[in-house]
Chains A and B, each alone.
Chain A
Amino acid sequence: DVVMTQSPLSLSVTLGQPASISCRSSQSLVYSDGNTYLNWFQQRPGQSPRRLIYKVSNWDSGVPDRFSGSGSGTDFTLKISRVEAEDVGVYYCMQGTHWPYTFGQGTKLEIK
């Protein structure tokens, strides 16, 4: 199975400051169709996960543009340009290139 490794596992950020989460995969996530199926999810306390970013850098509908995804191959990053109070929660990367799909361990974001 592809192992997804996130860092850091927790993040304490001052409101209005940037945040960055790294996600590394144990093998390339480039699929045979040329796409890279790396997604980012946000899970607010007590809620279901919500997809924020798909195929590395594409925003889902309604996602604020302060969130951005980047990366390629095995190395990916989720950035929040200015953290807001509603961003508190756990963030997961997930690869959908290889079966079984696998998630990172999650990164808990809190406000300092």
Chain B
Amino acid sequence: QVQLVQSGAEVKKPGASVKISCKASGFTFATYYMHWVRQAPGQGLEWMGVINPTGDGKSYAQRFQGRVTMTRDTSTSTVYMEVSSLRSEDTAVYYCARDLLDFWGQGTLVTVSS
């Protein structure tokens, strides 16, 4: 069965970076786009971006351009997202999701606090 298992919760200071992983299983990872979506506490869902199957094509939401980097490793069926220059407003649960958002990871809470 399709599974997306994300890395554990993180606590970071403002200005730091965080890299979250999402390990896929149960499907042919190398043929799927992968998305990232975040959800601030008590708020709605916000699409952050997508990486293509080969990892050489990415599209980020304008507000994250320059601060977000998505990568993937086909050998381990893992997709990564790094967010830099963290600020308190980046405190959120970050989700990975398979193409067309048909399957989601369990979420990774990132807390940014001094």
- A residues sitting closer than 8 Å to B (CB atoms) are 1, 37, 39, 41, 43, 48-51, 54, 60, 90, 92, 94, 96, 99-106
Contacts and interface: CB of A to CB of B under 8 A. Distances in A.
A96 B100 contact: yes
A110 B102 CA distance: 24
A8 to B, nearest CB: 15
B59 A92 contact: no
B102 A51 contact: yes
Contacts of A96: 100-101
B44 A92 contact: yes
Interface of B: 35, 37, 44-47, 49-50, 59, 61-62, 95, 100-107
Given A92-B44, A106-B45, A49 B104 contact: yes
Nearest to B48: A100
B100 A39 contact: yes
Nearest to A99: B59
Given A41-B45, A49-B37, A50-B104, 19 more contacts: A41-B101, A43-B45, A48-B104, A48-B107, A49-B45, A49-B104, A51-B100, A54-B100, A54-B102, A92-B45, A99-B50, A100-B59, A101-B35, A101-B101, A102-B47, A103-B44, A104-B44, A105-B44, A106-B44
Contacts of B47: 94, 100-103
Contacts of A1: 62
A40 to B, nearest CB: 11
Nearest to B95: A48
Given A48-B106, A99-B59, A105-B44, A94 B95 contact: no
Nearest to B97: A49
8 contacts: A50-B104, A51-B100, A51-B102, A60-B102, A92-B44, A96-B100, A104-B44, A106-B45
A102 B61 CA distance: 10
A39 B62 contact: no
A39 B101 contact: yes
Contacts of B102: 51, 54, 60
B100 A103 contact: no
